Amino acid sequence: MSAASTKWLRRLGWGLTLVWFDFRIGGFDFSPDVIGYLLAASALSEASSTYRTMRSARTLALLLAAGEIPGLILVQPGLLGNIEQYELIPLYAHIYIQAMQLLHLLLMLLICWGMDGIADKANERDLQGSIRVRRISYSVVGMGMQIFYPFIFNLEASVWVYMLIIGMSSSLFWIFSSSGWRSAFPMLSH
């Protein structure tokens, strides 16, 4: 792939990185997810002309960007940072959080299916296998989180801290498990 044809991949990566990281100081979010989803949607719109799955992902990214705006008002940022106060968050905010997490999971699966198609078209079987492993891993962890979410009220905060550390560590491991991006995406180094 040429540098011009991979530009959208870099934009997609930066957009999803902004969504993944939360930089909050005093309750103010310095990297709102809205910007990340809009950047991802912009990148996916370039790929949507060639890959149909990416068209659906672009639409979902735009929906998520629009859906994040009420989250700035509905969900009180001070409560989200304190695990011991989750029961103080209103029920409608929990439903909103669950719905947004499910839509984000679907977005990631659509992107993985689209990447799978790109790897198939480029005849990159190793890359395709790597994408499939990551898609399955992400969907198992994502669905596990959705199923386990209602039980957060019954756990002590110390248990949640360990679970969050394990979850973040496993996510980082799956992202970087192939000794760097160039080995995970060999078609980008051409």
Work out the pLDDT band at 76, boundaries 50, 70, 90. Answer: low
CB-based burial of residue 84 (10 Å sphere; 0-12 exposed, 13-18 middle, 19+ buried)? Answer: exposed
Q: What is the CA radius of gyration of the chain?
A: 18
HEC secondary structure over the chain: CCCCCCHHHHHHHHHHHHHHCCCEECCEECCCHHHHHHHHHHHHHHHHCCCHHHHHHHHHHHHHHHHHHHHHHHCCHHHHCCHHHHHHCCHHHHHHHHHHHHHHHHHHHHHHHHHHHHHHHCCCHHHHHHHHHHHHHHHHHHHHHHHHHHHHHHCCHHHHHHHHHHHHHHHHHHHHCCCCHHHHCHHHHC
Per the prediction, the chain carries an average pLDDT of 79
The pLDDT tens digits of the residues spanning 122-176 come to 898 888 888 888 888 888 888 888 887 777 777 776 777 787 788 778 777 766 6
pLDDT bracket for residue 179 (50, 70, 90): very low
Residue 181 has pLDDT above 90, yes or no: no
- Per-residue model confidence (pLDDT) at position 183: 52
Non-local (6+) Cβ contacts of 154 within 8 A are: none
- Assign 180 a pLDDT band (cuts: 50, 70, 90): very low
Q: Where are the domains of the chain?
A: 7-74+83-189
Q: What is the bridge-based pairing of β-strands 28-29 and 24-25?
A: antiparallel
Contact 64/104 with Cβ under 8 angstroms?
Answer: yes
- Give the pLDDT confidence score for residue 169 in this predicted structure: 82
Question: Using 50, 70 and 90 to split pLDDT, how confident is the model at 92?
Answer: confident
HSE at residue 171, side-chain half, CA atoms within 13 A, is 14
pTM of the model: 0.76
